Amino acid sequence: MSPTRRVLRLQLTLGLVFVTVCAVGVGTGAWGSEGRSTTSVAAAAPSSHRDGSSYSSDSSAGSDATDATDRWAADYTAQQFAAYSQELDGHYVGVGLWVARSPQGEVSVTRTLPGGPAALGGVRAGERLLAVGGTPVTGLPVTEVVSLLRGGSSDAVGSPVALQLQEGSTPTSAVVVVTLHRALLDEDDVHVDHPAQGVTRISMDAFTLGVSEQVQAAVRQLELHPATDGRGILLDLRGNSGGLVSEAVATASVFLDGGPVARYRSGGGAPQQVLQAASGGDTSTPLVVLVDSGTMSAAELVTGALQDRGRAVVVGRPTFGKGAVQQPQTLSDGVVQERTVGNYLTPSGHSPDGQGIQPDVEVPTNATPQAAENTALTVLDDLSDVNSQ
């Protein structure tokens, strides 16, 4: 399909689904996993966020920025930086637990990592988390809850952590204390499922090493075994905290056939560089990208590329808004400093820094995650209908 025809198709779809946006429901929360301290709402977003020349990740556990003119600057101890680098390789020390916080501040378990300490200890999705290591967590930002679960630099593999859990939502529900032992876990950053007939949902928590290959495998599986009523792909980037820029470019390449993914400009008058997609990607399967205010950094790079290139319809809330690029430097005392060295732009020249990526179909601020997903599925239906004409 030619780029012009694809853009016209997307414009038609946007007109078809505009009226459905008003039907989205109410309420939202925040969620995160131990693999990285990430949230889904701007109010609880991390204080800084690193996106180096080849990587980006939440850096909220680092010290406050030391350069008042650089909002993304941060310093780390050698141990902190080593831990973040390990995360980008897809590993972390923790108990394998994902949590969410309700608007009332209650923290609950959303899922557990199969085979991880939490799952083996009998922790189940839906249970309310009351305390971690004796510290009450109700009302705490998700980032702080995740930090407690993972522990400090002295809490290595095998260190114990006691979780106080409530099995129900009523005051009389049973409260239990489960002691788990932290382990070195593999972060599962790509999840593939089918929320509706003919729909393949690819959810990505971060752009860690190897995720683009998993996305490619999911799309290839769809090509090898197409559904008779195939409606398309839902790329869910809600709460995605960023990651390796190389993985972001490779992921965008899965859905593009060459051309620009992003433009990079550094200080000092250096010429602008263009990050190019590989050729041969899937350019025909209907594609919707689902985002929220927790979609950050490298995830915004992918979203902006697919939107600007007319490859996907973006649904959800405006993204976090970080287009700055940092580079780490190790000092003589072992402290690692990260300072902004440039900015990236979408293919059309738009900077997401401070304003984020604006969705094509925006859902209300108080929409529940499920309501936002339903809107995305409606858009995908309409894309599929237009594509078949």
pLDDT in tens, 286-311: 999 999 988 988 999 999 999 999 99
What is the pLDDT at residue 248? Answer: 94
* Higher per-residue confidence, 111 vs 192: 192
| Alpha carbon distance 228, 313 (integer Å) | 23
| Token code pair at residue 73 | 């600057």
CB 255 within 8 A of CB 279: no
Q: List, for residues 329-355, the tens digit of each pLDDT value.
A: 888 888 888 888 888 999 999 999 989
Q: In sequence order, what are the beta bridge partners of 162? A: 179
* Higher per-residue confidence, 176 vs 6: 176
What is the pLDDT at residue 25? Answer: 26
What is the pLDDT at residue 52? Answer: 26
Q: List, for residues 146-170, the tens digit of each pLDDT value.
A: 878 988 766 678 999 999 999 866 6
Q: List, for residues 33-85, the tens digit of each pLDDT value.
A: 554 433 222 222 222 222 222 333 333 223 222 344 677 777 777 766 766 66
What is the pLDDT at residue 229? Answer: 64
Residue 382 C-alpha from the chain's centroid: 25
What is the pLDDT at residue 321? Answer: 92
Q: Which of 85-99, 136-150, 255-269 has the lowest mean pLDDT?
A: 85-99
Mean pLDDT value across residues 225-231: 70
Q: What is the DSSP letter of 63?
A: P
What is the pLDDT at residue 53? Answer: 26
For all residues of the chain together, what is the average pLDDT?
A: 78
* Higher per-residue confidence, 375 vs 51: 375
pLDDT of 322 over the 70 cut: yes
DSSP string, 353-376: TTT-PPPSEEPPTT--HHHHHHHH
Q: In sequence order, what are the beta bridge partners of 346? A: none
What is the pLDDT at residue 60? Answer: 29
What is the pLDDT at residue 99? Answer: 82
| Alpha carbon distance 219, 215 (integer Å) | 6
Percent of the chain at pLDDT > 90 equals 41
Q: Which of 6-10, 314-318, 380-384 has the lowest mean pLDDT?
A: 6-10
Dihedral, 357, 360, 366, 369 alpha carbons, nearest 10: -90
Dihedral, 343, 75, 212, 292 alpha carbons, nearest 10: -70
Strands (E), 8-159: 30-33, 49-51, 56-58, 74-76, 91-94, 97-101, 107-112, 128-132, 135-136
Question: Strand pairing of 287-291 and 232-236?
Answer: parallel
231: part of which helix (H) or strand (E)? none
| Alpha carbon distance 63, 56 (integer Å) | 17
* Higher per-residue confidence, 45 vs 270: 270
pLDDT of 26 over the 70 cut: no
For residue 250, which phi and psi values (nearest 5 degrees)? -65, -35
What is the pLDDT at residue 194? Answer: 92
Q: Is the pTM of this model over 0.85?
A: no
Q: How confident is the model at residue 29 (pLDDT cuts 50, 70, 90)?
A: very low
What is the pLDDT at residue 269? Answer: 72
CB 133 within 8 A of CB 146: no
* Higher per-residue confidence, 39 vs 171: 171
Question: Strand pairing of 183-186 and 91-94?
Answer: antiparallel
What is the pLDDT at residue 355? Answer: 92
Number of H helices, E strands in the chain: 8, 22
